[in-house]
Amino acid sequence: MRRYPKAIVGAGVLMVAALIAAGCSDGADAPSASNVEPTEIPATATEVPTEASMPTPTEAPAPTPVAPAPTDEPVPTEAPPPTAVQPEPEASIFQDCGQVYLCAELEVPADHNDPDAGTISLELGMLPAGDPDGRIGVLLVNPGGPGGDMNSFLAYGAGLSDQVLARFDVVGWNPRGVTASLNPNCHQEAEKLQLVGALSDTLENEAVIAEAAQQAAEACLAGLDGRAELISTVQTVHDMDLIRQALGEDQINFLGYSYGTVLGQFYADKYGAHARAVVIDGVLDTSLAHEDVLVEQIRGFARVIDAIFEACLADAACPIVGNPKSAYLQLMDSLETNPLLDAEGNVLAGPGEAQLALVIVSYSSEEQWPLLFRAFAQAWGENDGQMLHDLAQFYLGAVDLGSFFSISCTDGGRMSESDLDRLVERMIEEAGDFGRAAVAEARMCVYWDDTETRPHEPVRAPDAASVLVIGNRGDNATPYEWAVAVAEALETGVLLTYNGQGHTSYGRHPCVDEVVDNYLIDLVLSSEDIECG
């Protein structure tokens, strides 16, 4: 499972609204609310309209909190400090690049353990402080992933309030393993693995899935040219401090979502003296092994998926008759043997698309769940897989899936066949076939290089100022319990609990926003845990 970049989830709210309005097809009306019996699944798939382009948001979304699952890794205390390769600048390193943000490139060591191993170039972007006279400093931001890039994130103002945008130079970067820097260039193979993972549990399908996992691993490792260990989270944390140095800042501020909370924890642990304020939202527990992260995530997703189907059952307007969950499983079976095709005869929606449509909607609030019901109704009653396809493509395009899988396997280390078998059993126990389908990234790790780079233990960050740890009780991607555990482990952790729903919390409630903004701007933060909503 994956943790979504905050910008993607925010854009997703607009995307969902657009899909509902447009019916996700070329200007056609949305499916009628007339009930569609699951028995109406056609025996064979007929042609449907050609793929409609995904609606593009025209304005920045309200910062709706954002990913399933790289692992976590405390930075080894004996790791060498990064080599300073950029002197303190006399002027800004950023230049106009035709984007809504300014751009820069920063050369950093390819391997922070071996300064003689050459350098790589990191892409940076900056939104200058809206009020230069009131500028406080630099706010380094990361949307999550791993594999989330800065481009759409900064284009949406990083989901930040106007007050924060006015007082900080907001800086994002594309971490190593993402876009140009050490990119494994294996998104296509990783996407295939993600889709075939939803095939039914047969010996033949297991062979297909295993082959896809091996092909994805080989493609990603080939793209990294034997340097998989260089895209680890540990290496990225050292890059973060080089960014600070290049900007000429004695201290920086950090705001990270989802996987970005791992970076925030490790930076606070290794470079706490250089962190003025650290906020982590949608928190990953660094003490958990890769397998445990996946199992605890799928447990949360199973709960919200059950709630989605129960909501349909209780809603007279839901276009699915009978038991919605049973209807979904029937649809999955039908799509495996008779996928829905586009006008050229290409597969538009199979079981993989149906499964990913369910996953992406599970990240949204209840108001967006009817989109999934409409997509299922189109597939059943109209032999039209366009909505399922578009939802799945939105999931697949949220991050570079090749980068996501590669960084996850590098951080978590190679997995044995027996460990994979035990993981699959645990996932099935938690969520049935949906759990089995969510093991894609772990399957690729069976064929990965032996690159585990960190222990699985809590982060203490003894030298850091207060770390604001935000947990959402209704977050299935990063369960609330993880935020509690991280706040307790950090020596200066303060827990902010949001009694809401969805992945991450900043931007979802005025109380949360006020606490975050006051801390970032004025360093005002209670020493006691806080509750909102």
Cβ pair 414, 193 in contact under 8 A? no
Between CA 233 and CA 73 the distance in angstroms is 7
pLDDT-derived band of residue 25, with 50, 70 and 90 as boundaries? very low
Lowest mean pLDDT among 77-86, 390-399, 426-435: 77-86
- Model pLDDT for residues 248-295, shown as the tens digit of each residue: 999 999 999 999 999 999 999 999 999 999 999 999 999 999 999 999
Q: What are phi and psi of 209, to 5 degrees?
A: -65, -45
pLDDT of residue 452: 66
Neighbours of 40 (CB within 10 A): 12
Neighbours of 159 (CB within 10 A): 27
Tell me the CA distances in angstroms from 55 to 85, 159, 237, 488, one per residue in order.
Answer: 42, 20, 35, 42
Strands of 175-274, DSSP E: 252-257
Whether residue 429 has pLDDT greater than 60:
yes
Provide the H-helix boundaries in 367-479: 370-381, 386-396, 401-412, 417-437, 440-445
Packing angle between helix 6-22 and helix 386-396, nearest 10 degrees? 170
Cβ pair 377, 320 in contact under 8 A? yes
pLDDT-derived band of residue 190, with 50, 70 and 90 as boundaries? very high
Residue from 304, 294, 293 nearest 427 by CA: 294
Structure tokens at 183: 């990119």
Lowest mean pLDDT among 33-37, 42-46, 314-318: 42-46
Task: Count Cβ atoms within 10 A of the Cβ of residue 522 and give its class: 0-12 exposed, 13-18 middle, 19 or more buried.
Answer: exposed
Cβ pair 497, 473 in contact under 8 A? yes
Cβ pair 67, 2 in contact under 8 A? yes
- Model pLDDT for residues 122-151, shown as the tens digit of each residue: 999 999 999 999 999 999 999 999 989 999
Residues 19-38 have a mean pLDDT of: 38
Cβ pair 242, 121 in contact under 8 A? no
Domains and CATH numbers, the chain: 1-533 (3.40.50.1820)
Cβ pair 383, 48 in contact under 8 A? yes
Whether residue 458 has pLDDT greater than 80:
yes
> Tokens 């693995």 identify what position?
193
